[in-house]
Structure 1
Amino acid sequence: MRRILRDNLWMMVVIGVFLAVVTVAKVGWGLEPSKQLPPDQTIEAAVMGMLNWKLKYGKETIFAAEMQAAALRAERKVKELREQLKESNAKLAQCVMKPEGGKENRK
């Protein structure tokens, strides 16, 4: 029994070490260091990065403006619906009639 448990323990340790090595290896062991770009390509990459950033930022601001407009439309619609609800409740209150001959009149 002890031998089986000891063997299981060693097997778990071996599997754990294997998983640790695989995890660390995926992070960056064995990768070649990145090569430096020539100056003209470095400038080109920086300019393209800035243009991409500006494009993404512009799209996000447009999206934010659209969402703000949609929120304002939704608020206006909620106000209209609340007014309609108040009017409907007032009409319903006028239409509901109390029964005249209730249980208290019966003997």
Structure 2
Amino acid sequence: MPPRTSIFRLRQRSLLRGILLCIGAFFLSLYLSGFPHMNTMHLSHWQTLAVLLACWSMVETIRCADRTWSLYYAGVLILLYSEVMILSMAVFLFFYP
């Protein structure tokens, strides 16, 4: 039997789940705003789904942070900063006319 990963176990911490949620929020936000065609970019109220997905990914990443300083903790902080940028982009595209 193959080893089970913690991606689908919501009670366990999973850094990979946080990363996948963040990337999913990024692509969903771009898709919902009509990104490939600049002339058709529009406001979509479904963008709140991308914002909630980005917030959930931040919570998952914060759960993986250790409270002592290490290189792993530094990597988690860098991931959190990138998730804040994706969250701000999703919020900006939500209010983009």
Shorter-chain TM-score above 0.5: no
Greater C-alpha radius of gyration: 1
- Per chain length, whose mean CA-contact separation is higher, i.e. which structure has more relative contact order (CA < 8 Å, sep 6+)? 2
TM-score by length of 1: 0.27
TM-score by length of 2: 0.30
Q: Per residue, is there more helix in 1 or in 2?
A: 1
